[in-house]
Every structure is written in structure tokens, then in C-alpha cells.
Structure 1
Amino acid sequence: MDPYQLTATQALTKLKDGSLTVEEYARSLLERIEKRDDDVQAWAYLNPEYVIQQAKQLDSLPPEERGPLHGVAVAVKDIMYTKDMPTQHNSPIYEGDDPKLDAASIITLRHAGALILGKSTTTEFASITTGPKTRNPHDTTRTPGGSSSGSAAAVGDFQAPIGLGTQTGGSTIRPGSFNGIYAFKPTWNSISREGLKVYSLILDTIGFFSRSVDDLQLLADVFELEDDVPPHNDFSIKGSKFAVLKTMVWPQAGPGTVAALDAGAKLLRDHGADVEEIELPPEFEKLPEWHGIVLRSDGRPTFLPEYRVSKDKLAGVLVGHVENEYQISRAAQLEAFDGIASLRPKIDEIAGKYAAILTPSVVDEAPVGRETTGSPAFNAIWTALHTPVTNIPGFKGENGLPVGLSLIAPRYHDRHLLEVSKVVGEIFEAEGGWTRQVYQ
């Protein structure tokens, strides 16, 4: 196996035992990127000389000074400030902008010894649904999803073992599904968002991409995600109780998602789980509408500075936020804020009865073209409710492209959810019918 194919956990083992240097690892990843960049185009900025400079510096550290992510390469979504690299938000307003500081998340990663590989593409300000230049590595005629397009595509194409994204609607879970990888959205506000362009203070959450749950757990350690009660690390499907939840947007589900949800539930039952299909109470029906109100309302002050300075360079949908094109009243905002808040403890109570809730990640396979990054319909409600979510790969749609399923747990049960996701992921990947490939 070439070094670029290693998961972060596998790479760490080799870096620790001396069978691989950070420079060798970095050069292998850079060769992979060079080979595949014309097809996938996952990067907004990447400087190979700077990558090797970082790698040599990490190799020079004595063992006792090496961090828990020593040498692990990370793709960083280009809305997070990075010193020594531009942060451009895929916006002509910030083209070539060179911040002099790191975002809080990047400070944390550097302190842990991570190798910051480069800046990955995003939609404009991680907001609009028109895709960037990036293509889906499994079918380059299709979108990799958004807005964390580049991070997900880079991880899915073995150009990086780990990627950072964000989610305001479905920008971590949806591209995770489209690219056939694990994606994790922690409980809201578990990770500092200082130093990134925030779309909505009430919705925005930093998320992770990887090709293994072990790697998600590494990141959870570094960012100190903790449950009140530490989870058991011997979780077993047999005898555990799961819920299957189609949600109020189920009529939008395509054949790939319909088949995946049926197959996922069957696999859990085949492995000894008690699986119960449930429905949300009627009071949850307004969640999609309320999420939209919050998103557009928070967008008004967020993009006002760019509107004032460079309205002609701002995407029309963002101009619409500032100008309140939907005529959202303050009373409607309050109803949405308070309505969503009242539902959060209710979903905690429902989810707390199960090991996890199994629910769709996407409408279907990645759609053709990059005019849209796909619908966040199956993600937005969980973003609004602040629950942790994991996308589990393993299934495929009618065109053979990956379709994932989501696992949901109550708020601040992140480590529990990761333990469950690891066991479920092993089953879904082995028996779900879709196999990850290394494209040449």
C-alpha cells in the first residue's frame, strides 16, 4: 500500500515506529494530488514547497515533542483562516486575501502536530448551492456535494486522510455521502468557530471527513469532545435497539436512498439488533421551514459588510439575504428560533431510547453537473436540532455511486455515536454493496 492510501490512524502507526517519515508521507500525497488534480480539482490553494517545509520541520522534532496527530495531513476548507496560506471563501471579494492568523481549529491542529496540506474548495462563503470547480472522484460529471466540496473530494480520492468542513444545512453529511466516506457533524458549538466566516451563529458547526471512524475518534480526542458518561468501547449490534426514521421529507427520497435505508435496517436486524420504525411527533413538521427562516435571517447581518463594500461581486442569493427578499418578519424569526429550541430536548428524549437513529443522509446519489451541489433536505433538520450526526458509507445507487446513511444521537453524546458508528460502519462497508476504489 502506498503511503497516500493510509488512513490517518495507519499513517500515525508508521510515523511513530519510524517506518515512514513525514516527508515521505507528504511527498506520496503530493504525487497523488498531482496525478489526480486535473480530474478532481479539490484544491483552492496548495503549495508543495510549503508542505515539504512543514514535513521536514515535523521530522526534526524529538519523539517527546511530537503531538497526537504528528505528521497527519489535513485538508482545510477555504473559509477557515490560515496564516501562510490565503483564505478566499471562493469569492472575488477576497481573492488572494492573506490573513496573518490561524483559526482556532487550525491552531488546535497545528499544536497536535498535524500537517496542514492546503485549502480545499468551497462554494461562495460556504453558502450558495452552485458548485465550485471540484468534481466527484467517482464520476467527474457529477458534483462532490457542497459546501465542503474540496475536503470531501480530497479524502474520497485519497489525496488527504482527513478533511475539515462545516455544516449550516448539509455541507458535511451530504458530501460525505456523495464521496463514499465517513463524515461527522458534532453537537453544535462543540468546536470553536473563531477564525472562520460564520454564516449562522445558530446553525454553523465544524465537521470532519475521513475514511475510517478511528480517524474521526482521533479528531474527537484532539478537539476534546466528551460525553458526560464515557461510552463503552465494546458496543455490539446484537441486542441493541435502533430506530429507523424517514422524516417529514421522505417523499423527496430517490431510489438509491430508499434501497439503502431498507438495506441498512435489514443488516442491523440480521446482526441481531432490535430495529423499530418511528415517526416524529407532529410538532416537528415545521422544522424545514424554520431552518430556512433562521438561515436567511442570520444571513442578513453576516453578509451586510460584503454587500456594503462589493455588492456587485456578491452572489445573488446572498444579496437576497441582506435585502430580505423573502420578507421574513421579526415575529417569524422568533417563532423559528423558539420553535426549534423547544424541539431540541424532545429529540434528545426520543433518540435517547436507542443506540442510534438510522435515517437518510441524502436524497440520492450525487446529481450530474456542478450547477447544484445537491439537496440538504435530509440534513437541515439535524443541523437545526444541534444533534451529532455521522454519515456511514457502504451502499450504492442505481448508477453504482455511493449512497450513505446517517446515524443520530442525542446532543453531547458524540463519543457514544462514534462508538456505534464504528461497529455499524464495519457492517455497512462489508455488506452494503459499495466498495471504495483507488482511481488511477
Structure 2
Amino acid sequence: MKPYQLSITEAARHIASRELSPVELTRSVLDRIEQVEDRVKAFVVVTAEQALEAAAIAEKEIADGGYRGPLHGIPVGIKDLFDVAGLPTTASSQVRADHRATDDSACVQRLRDAGSILVGKTHTHEFAYGIITPTTRNPWNVEHIPGGSSGGSGAAVAAGECLMGMGTDTGGSIRIPAALCGTVGLKPTYGRVSRHGVTSLCWSLDHAGPLTRTVRDAALVLGVLAGSDPRDPATADVAVPDYTEGIDAGVSGLTVGVPSNYFFDDIDPQVEARVREAVSVLEGNGATVRSVEIPYSQQLMAVEFGLIMPEASAYHQEMLRSRGDAYQDDVRVLLEAGELMLASQYLKVLRVRALIKDGFRRAFEGLDAIVCPTLPATAARVDQQEFEFPHGVRKSVMDAYVGHSAPGNITGLPALSVPCGFDSNGLPVGLQIIGRPYEEQTILRLGQAYETATDWVSQTPDL
């Protein structure tokens, strides 16, 4: 294997044993970017010179006995919503083309403290308000979307342009590109990871988390990112465990719920088949499988957009008036529509959200996790507007994707997407594992057990 093809876990082992240097690994990643970026278009900016300088420093630190841990010397990409001191934070928008960050966001600072090497900033759907990421292409088939809004990070990891990509998730923006690009995507519990220094879409739904090649890699990164931060009042003062502890314990003794409604109602038959095969793998390895009903399923999408639209419009209100013509049409229309919502409607949405959260709390009684499709369909074509599901049901691409990921944002529950196969066109399918609050260890354990029992992690796109 070439260095850029390694997982974080593998690269860290070689770096710690001095079999691989951070400079060698970083050069391999930068060479890979040069090789494929003209097709993938994952990066807003590539910081090659700074990355090699940081890698040389990491190499010397390690040689001098200052090894910081498994992220030391690991090249990573940062979604262009996270502030990186000295670099623009454009949110892939002309509205902020002249913006330049003066300080690192909390996540970037923690990654730097762990010794990570930043190789560049990755594209997002403009201001994270969409699920396409128009600039970027899916490495499995460049005629298809990578998903969004963290599409640049998902595509970059899948293509070997970095070993980890930071993402944000407001309506599925980590899990959607993870599922469509065949990577692992982890949305932690709301409040587990600081969003200080991250451009907001919807403050009450925004999460930050990693996209990686393997489940263990996601656990390693979360261990660095997690923890309270007074600069983000939503973060919780909850102890941060070693997320790799017990990750190989298997699934015997765990009980998982498979939804009897909602997640399998409107779905591509090939996606459903891959997900049900994945459930059978978990069951065959010792998990107990039970049926579970998803509460308030008819209200989920109304609540998701009933929160995003007014909150996003409030955040953008001044910029929309001063630079409205600089927004892309799809985003500007959503921001303008959000200003039409009444305060009374927003308050009703908050009340229904409370009912949904309580309903999920009761649904989890006796369960360790809920397993379901990450998305109801694989990657849409670049020009595709909607899906047609069995029985003539048609849904827009956004509604189809967000409908499956929104429950994790509304409830704030941790959710993991892991690859679970491909459709007949060779496009990846994702399995979603949703857990109890702050029990990321459990969903990582389930994801690791499934990943170990299958061979999907070894599959990479042929660019």
C-alpha cells in the first residue's frame, strides 16, 4: 500500500515505530491530491507548503521522544466552515470571499495539539445549506454527487486526499457524504464537540465530527475532539472516555432495534437489501434484534426545517440584505423563505421537538442502538432532481436524504454511518447506527463489529 492509502490506525502504528515519517506520509497525500483533484475537486485551498513544514516539525518531535499520540503526523482536511488561523473561511460562498480567520476553531486547535497535519480546506455546500456540494464530485463516479454539506471532506477521504476530513452535521451533513462516498461518518451527541469558530447553519441542530476510513479511526479522532468548552455554551461537562476501549468487544449481549416504520417506507430495494443483510450480520455475530416503531415520524421533516429555516435566516439576516446577490440561488431562496416564519410557528416547532425527543427516549427502552439505512438511495446524478421509489413515490433528492438523517439532529443522539455494500452501479450504501446520549462507545462497538465481519472497508474507488 502507498502511504496515502493507510487508515489513521495503520499510519499511526508505522509512525510510532519509525517505519513511516510524517513527511513521507504528507508528501504521499499531497501527491495524491495533485493526481486526482482535477476530477474530485474536494478542496477550496491546499496548504502544501505549510503542511510539509508542520510534518517536518512532527517528525523531529517524534524523533526526540515527543510522540503525542495516534494523530501525530496524520494529514487531515478541514471543512471550510471551521476557522483556521491565517486562512479564509469562505463557507464555499462568494459572500465571504474576503474573510480570513485570525484564530483556530476549537476543533482545529485540538487537532493541532494532537499533532495533526492540515493539508487544506474542503468544500461545503454554500454555508452548509444543502446536500449536494456542487463544486465536488463523487470519487466512485464523477457523474454523481458526493453528498453534503460536508461533501468535500467525504470525497477527499474516499479519494485518498487526506486520512480524515472534518465535517459538520445539521440535517445529515456528515452522514450523507459518508454514505454516498463509502466512508465512515460520526455525528456525536449534541454538546459532545465544541463548535466554537465554526460558521453556523442552525445553532440548535449543528454538530461537528469526523469522516474517516474506518470506525476505529473515528473513535481516535473523537477522543481528541470531545470535551466541554466554555466558548460553546451548548457543550456538556460530561467525562470523555477512551473511545477505543471495548471497541473490539463484539456485539454479543447488545440489543438493536430495527425500525418497523419510516426508515424502510420509501427506499430503493437495493439499499434495503444491503441494510437488511447488514442487520443479519450483526444478528449472526450475537446481537439481539428487535422491532422498534419510530415515534412522530410524520412530524420529523416539518420540525427539521421548522428549526433550520428561521435560525439560518436569523444568522444570515444582515449579510442577506447587504450581499444578497452573492448567494447561490438555492441558498438565497431558503434564507428568504425562512424570514416568513412566524415566532408562534417556531415556538410550536420547539414543542413538537420536545415530544419527539421524549418519544425516542421511550423507543430506546431495552435497546442499545437503532440500526437503519443511512439514506434511502445511493448517490444521485449531478443533474438529478428527485428519486422515484416503489409504488410511484417521488421525493426530491434533499427530502429523501435529509428525511433519514434528520432524526439524529432533532434528538441530538449520536449516529454513525458505516459502509455496508454497493448497488448495481457500484455506488456505496450506508448503514446508520443511532445510540443513546453520550454513548458513542456503543455505536462505535457495533460499527467496529460489523466492519470486522465484512470486507467493505477494503474497497476503494478506482480513480
Q: What is the TM-score when the length of structure 1 is the normalising length?
A: 0.93
Check the 8 A contact 2:123/2:133 in 1, yes or no: no
Shift of 1:96: 4.7
Are 1:297 and 2:323 matched, yes or no? no
Name 1:332's counterpart in structure 2. 345
Shift of 1:371: 6.3
Q: Separation in 1 of the partners of 2:280 and 2:441?
A: 25
Are 1:439 and 2:462 matched, yes or no? yes
Q: Among 417, 435, 445, which residue is 1:419 paired with?
A: 445
* Structure 1 residues 246 and 67: alpha-carbon distance in aligned structure 2, compared to 1, 3 A threshold: farther
Shift of 1:13: 1.1
* SS of residue in 2 equivalent to 1:60: helix
One-letter code aligned to 1:377: G
Shift of 1:325: 5.6
One-letter code aligned to 1:420: L
Name 1:286's counterpart in structure 2. 299
* Structure 1 residues 236 and 325: alpha-carbon distance in aligned structure 2, compared to 1, 3 A threshold: closer
> What are the superposed Cα offsets for residues 392-429 of structure 1, whole Å, 9 maximum, x if unpaired?
112111312110110011111112221222112222x3
> What are the superposed Cα offsets for residues 267-294 of structure 1, whole Å, 9 maximum, x if unpaired?
223333321222123x443122111100
* Structure 1 residues 435 and 306: alpha-carbon distance in aligned structure 2, compared to 1, 3 A threshold: same
Are 1:407 and 2:408 matched, yes or no? no
- Aligned pairs (5 A) from 1:225-236: 232-233=246-247, 235-236=249-250
> What are the superposed Cα offsets for residues 282-308 of structure 1, whole Å, 9 maximum, x if unpaired?
x44312211110010111211112112
> What are the superposed Cα offsets for residues 20-48 of structure 1, whole Å, 9 maximum, x if unpaired?
11111110111111111112111110032
Q: Separation in 2 of the partners of 1:136 and 1:312?
A: 29
> What are the superposed Cα offsets for residues 166-186 of structure 1, whole Å, 9 maximum, x if unpaired?
011111111101111111000
Name 2:375's counterpart in structure 1. 362
Shift of 1:234: 5.2
Name 2:424's counterpart in structure 1. 398
> What are the superposed Cα offsets for residues 317-367 of structure 1, whole Å, 9 maximum, x if unpaired?
443444346832222211111221233243234225223211110121101
Q: Separation in 2 of the partners of 1:324 and 1:438?
A: 39
Q: Separation in 2 of the partners of 1:227 and 1:410?
A: 15
Name 1:252's counterpart in structure 2. 266
Check the 8 A contact 2:250/2:445 in 1, yes or no: no
* SS of residue in 1 equivalent to 2:61: coil
Q: Among 176, 179, 184, which residue is 2:178 paired with?
A: 176
Check the 8 A contact 2:47/2:120 in 1, yes or no: yes
More deviation in 319-328 or 105-114? 319-328
Q: Separation in 1 of the partners of 2:182 and 2:132?
A: 21
* SS of residue in 2 equivalent to 1:307: helix
Q: Separation in 2 of the partners of 1:436 and 1:232?
A: 26
Name 1:276's counterpart in structure 2. 290
* SS of residue in 1 equivalent to 2:141: coil
Check the 8 A contact 1:130/1:371 in 2, yes or no: no
Name 2:166's counterpart in structure 1. 164
- Aligned pairs (5 A) from 1:6-405: 6-61=6-61, 63-68=64-69, 69-224=71-226, 232-233=246-247, 235-245=249-259, 247-248=261-262, 250-281=264-295, 283-324=296-337, 327-369=340-382, 375-405=401-431
Q: Separation in 2 of the partners of 1:341 and 1:195?
A: 28
Q: Separation in 2 of the partners of 1:70 and 1:325?
A: 43
Q: Separation in 2 of the partners of 1:413 and 1:264?
A: 21
Check the 8 A contact 1:255/1:398 in 2, yes or no: no
One-letter code aligned to 1:109: L
Shift of 1:228: 8.5
Name 2:392's counterpart in structure 1. none
Check the 8 A contact 2:251/2:445 in 1, yes or no: no
* SS of residue in 2 equivalent to 1:305: helix
One-letter code aligned to 1:8: I
* Structure 1 residues 289 and 229: alpha-carbon distance in aligned structure 2, compared to 1, 3 A threshold: same
Check the 8 A contact 1:348/1:409 in 2, yes or no: no
Q: Separation in 1 of the partners of 2:14 and 2:325?
A: 51
Q: Separation in 2 of the partners of 1:126 and 1:9?
A: 29
Q: Separation in 1 of the partners of 2:248 and 2:94?
A: 50
Identical aligned residues as a percent = 26
Q: Separation in 2 of the partners of 1:58 and 1:197?
A: 29
* Structure 1 residues 325 and 60: alpha-carbon distance in aligned structure 2, compared to 1, 3 A threshold: closer
Q: Separation in 1 of the partners of 2:219 and 2:104?
A: 23
* SS of residue in 2 equivalent to 1:79: coil
One-letter code aligned to 1:414: E
| Number of equivalences | 436
Q: Separation in 2 of the partners of 1:228 and 1:197?
A: 25
- Provide the aligned C-alpha RMSD in A: 2.2
Q: Separation in 1 of the partners of 2:131 and 2:420?
A: 26
* Structure 1 residues 71 and 388: alpha-carbon distance in aligned structure 2, compared to 1, 3 A threshold: same
Q: What is the TM-score when the length of structure 2 is the normalising length?
A: 0.88
* Structure 1 residues 135 and 24: alpha-carbon distance in aligned structure 2, compared to 1, 3 A threshold: same
One-letter code aligned to 1:176: A
* Structure 1 residues 49 and 233: alpha-carbon distance in aligned structure 2, compared to 1, 3 A threshold: closer
Gaps of 5+ in 1: none
Check the 8 A contact 2:186/2:209 in 1, yes or no: yes
